[in-house]
Amino acid sequence: MRTVVREDKSVAQREAVESLASRMYDDVTVTEVIRPAAVLSETNAHRVRMGLERDDVRAGGRWHAEPGCWRLFERPWKGKDERSAAAAGLLGSIQVAYGMPTRFEITIFRATITLLGTRLGYTVSSLCDQALVWADLTLSTCPRIDMPAPPRAFRPR
């Protein structure tokens, strides 16, 4: 019986997270693939990660940084969990790949601006610039690398 309760609880938690994600991204107005992709060297990657950590949305800042995505919010979360995110107003997100192209580098390859972010004047460049400021970089001054396009999806004949 306990197993069923745990499964129901995990399903409910997963559905809550999926619902939050869909609410957060329903108002997306701009998504831009950054080509050539911007690459942070090991030193600059460390500076940016530490800066985003200091400016964490759960501790009075505005950034929520995870290994695959950095998100900028309008204001700090009122709590420490994801449920606070919807009330804080997502401005935009930056898709990143850790360990690309080499082990300690970070590649910035896509940015998304929400409707709220657009209303407040954010662009892909200004969003990225706010994250890169910790390494004294901007999107226009960040080193670039051409990444190959992903392989085409397999289609059986």
| Closest among 27, 73, 70, 32 to 51, alpha carbons compared | 70
Reading the block at residue 155, the tokens are: 């289609």
119 in a structural domain: yes
- β 69-73/63-66 pair status: antiparallel
Domain that residue 33 falls in: 28-145
Closest CA to 123 of 92, 84, 85, 89: 92
Structural domain contains residue 1: no
Average pLDDT over residues 6-32: 58
What's the pLDDT band for 35 if we cut at 50, 70, 90? Answer: confident
In this predicted structure, what is the pLDDT of residue 103? Answer: 86
**Per-residue pLDDT at 5 exceeds 60:** no
Which pLDDT does position 25 carry in this prediction?
A: 53
Q: What is the residue-averaged pLDDT of the chain?
A: 82
Q: Is the residue at 77 inside a domain?
A: yes
pLDDT at 2: 40
pLDDT digits (tens, 9 = 90+) for 64-112: 999 899 999 999 988 766 555 667 889 999 999 998 888 889 999 999 9
Q: Does 76 map to a domain?
A: yes
Residue 136 maps to a domain: yes
Q: Above 90 in pLDDT, residue 10?
A: no
Q: How many folded domains does the chain comprise?
A: 1
What value does the mean pLDDT take over residues 126-141? Answer: 96
Assess whether pLDDT exceeds 50 at residue 126: yes
Could you give the CA distance from residue 66 to residue 12 in angstroms, rounded to a whole number?
A: 23
Q: Tell me whether residue 75 is in a domain.
A: yes
pLDDT score recorded for residue 6: 42
- For the chain, give the percent of residues with pLDDT over 70: 70
Dist. CA 2–CA 39, nearest whole Å: 48
